[in-house]
Amino acid sequence: MNGDWLLRGRDGRLSVYQSSGDAVLCRAEQGPGGTWTGPRKVGGEQKLHPVLALGQGADGYAHLVSWRPTAKGESGLVHSTHFRAHLAALDWNPVGHPDKKGDRTGWPAVAVDAEGRAHVFVRNAQGGVSLLAQKEKGGWEPWRGLGGKGVQDGLAAVTGESGRVELYAATPEGVLYWRQEAPGAPPVLQDPLKAPVRPGTLHALATSAERTTLYYTGTGGELCAWRPGGEPVTLLPAAGHGPVAAVRCELDGHDCTLLAQRSAGGRVAFAAYPTELESAGAWWTESGPRLTVDARVCLATDEDGRVVAATLSPSTGQLLLTRRKDEPGLALEAWRAV
């Protein structure tokens, strides 16, 4: 999956999305903080490849994108919108291919702007990035090439607090960065970051009114934070492989960024620090049971602003959840199976 898969809807309920075989499944709280439903198929009976990208707008609507087989050796992208987790999502809608036709070209990424328009990014056959954006009054703009070369899988799409969409992509030379200059405009390629980056480790988060922060792992195993226009900062050694999960939250009255990652030992490691103040330092604290190698971690906040962490193991289907306790610090409730 690409993007946050633990989401809070506009009604306060949390939901979880996962790719499962040739379908996408959703589980959701019956009510905020309540019991959970069983897995339900999203988007109808369309058979999909095991690929899922997610994005969520300020309206709380979830936008899902996947690849579907169309002919022998060929595939096309499909899109669905899920307005509320307890309702049925829209059926999968074919939205085409960045090269008009062909097989899968890469894992898509999705971001949703302030007007609720989904922006779908995917690597194209030329090794650059292509964009498909929704129109404000329905339908889709034509596919647009955004440039770039040597783009690797693991695109990180993010919407800033301004409501404008941004994209980060790893290459053998470092990180490419695109940003919308105006609402509704196509994102424009900016100055790149030249740094050694492990592909598949990018995660982006809106961290202030004007800036987003990219988290990535360097080739030496260090977890770094980078805001375009500045230099990357090493936070601490990465706890494990793959991208971190990140969420902004209030801890003891302070605006903090909480990071989580499956550690090399198999448990969930957490680290928190004042938002955009990497110089304050951070350190990992492990929590919960040992997880399978394929387990993923995601973070969100509930309707009361409390941090919620979830782990999902595709090989076993096990979903575990914990919440922050109502007490100082980052004390968590016992992990429980959902």
- Give the DSSP per-residue string, 255-309: EEEEEEEE-TTSSEEEEEEETT-GGG----EEESS---TT-EEEEEE-TTS-EEE
Look at residue 79 in the predicted model and tell me its pLDDT: 98
d(CA 151, CA 222): 21
d(CA 184, CA 253): 35
Q: Which residues contact 105 (CB under 8 A, 6 or more apart)?
A: 97, 98, 99, 122, 123, 124, 125
Look at residue 193 in the predicted model and tell me its pLDDT: 98
Check whether residue 133 and residue 171 sit in a common domain. Answer: yes
Check whether residue 300 and residue 333 sit in a common domain. Answer: yes
Chosen domain end from 243, 276, 294: 243
Q: Is residue 169 part of a domain?
A: yes
Look at residue 327 in the predicted model and tell me its pLDDT: 85
User: Is residue 51 a contact partner of residue 18, using CB atoms and an 8 Å limit?
Assistant: no
Q: Is residue 153 part of a domain?
A: yes
Chosen domain end from 243, 265, 296: 243
pLDDT in tens, the chain (338 residues): 999 999 999 999 999 999 999 999 999 999 888 899 999 999 999 999 999 999 999 999 999 999 999 999 999 999 999 999 889 999 999 999 999 999 999 999 999 999 999 999 999 999 999 999 999 888 999 999 999 999 999 999 999 999 999 999 999 999 999 999 998 899 999 999 999 999 999 999 999 999 999 999 999 999 999 999 999 999 999 999 989 999 999 999 999 999 999 999 999 999 999 999 999 999 999 999 999 999 999 999 999 999 999 999 988 889 999 999 988 888 999 999 99
Task: Tell me how crowded residue 183 is: count the other CB atoms within 10 A of its CB.
Answer: 14
Check whether residue 207 and residue 295 sit in a common domain. Answer: no
Taking the alpha carbons of 83, 21, 121, 144 in that order, is the dihedral positive or negative?
A: negative
Check whether residue 236 and residue 289 sit in a common domain. Answer: no
Look at residue 247 in the predicted model and tell me its pLDDT: 98
Look at residue 74 in the predicted model and tell me its pLDDT: 97
Check whether residue 248 and residue 237 sit in a common domain. Answer: no
pTM above 0.85, yes or no: yes
The distance from CA 44 to its chain's CA centroid, rounded to whole angstroms, is: 23
Check whether residue 89 and residue 58 sit in a common domain. Answer: yes
The distance from CA 232 to its chain's CA centroid, rounded to whole angstroms, is: 21
Amino acid at 249: C
CA distances from 26 to 85, 291, 298 (A): 8, 21, 15
**CA torsion, points 270, 213, 162, 151, in degrees to nearest 10?**
-120
Q: Is residue 26 part of a domain?
A: yes
Look at residue 221 in the predicted model and tell me its pLDDT: 97
Q: How many domains does the chain have?
A: 2
CATH number for the domain including 30? 2.120.10.10
Radius of gyration of the chain, Cα coordinates, nearest whole angstrom: 19
Check whether residue 206 and residue 108 sit in a common domain. Answer: yes
Look at residue 213 in the predicted model and tell me its pLDDT: 98
Look at residue 242 in the predicted model and tell me its pLDDT: 85
User: Is residue 159 a contact partner of residue 112, using CB atoms and an 8 Å limit?
Assistant: yes
80-116: buried (b, 16+ CB within 10 Å) or exposed (e) per residue? bbbebbbeebeebeebbbbeeeebbbbbbbbbbbbeb
Check whether residue 272 and residue 223 sit in a common domain. Answer: no
d(CA 190, CA 177): 6
Check whether residue 154 and residue 230 sit in a common domain. Answer: yes
Check whether residue 262 and residue 230 sit in a common domain. Answer: no
Pairing of strands 193-194, 188-189: unpaired
Q: Is residue 170 part of a domain?
A: yes
Look at residue 317 in the predicted model and tell me its pLDDT: 86
Full residue range of the structural domain in which residue 275 is found: 244-338
Q: Is residue 1 part of a domain?
A: no
Q: Phi and psi of 279, rounded to 5°?
A: -65, -15
Q: Is residue 133 part of a domain?
A: yes
Q: Is residue 13 part of a domain?
A: yes
The distance from CA 206 to its chain's CA centroid, rounded to whole angstroms, is: 12
Q: Is residue 64 part of a domain?
A: yes
Check whether residue 226 and residue 254 sit in a common domain. Answer: no
Check whether residue 187 and residue 301 sit in a common domain. Answer: no
Chosen domain end from 219, 243, 267: 243
d(CA 335, CA 289): 8
Look at residue 232 in the predicted model and tell me its pLDDT: 97
**Taking the chain, what is the end-to-end CA distance rounded to the nearest angstrom?**
20
d(CA 212, CA 25): 30
Q: Of 23, 22, 28, 36, nearest to 10 (Cα)?
A: 28
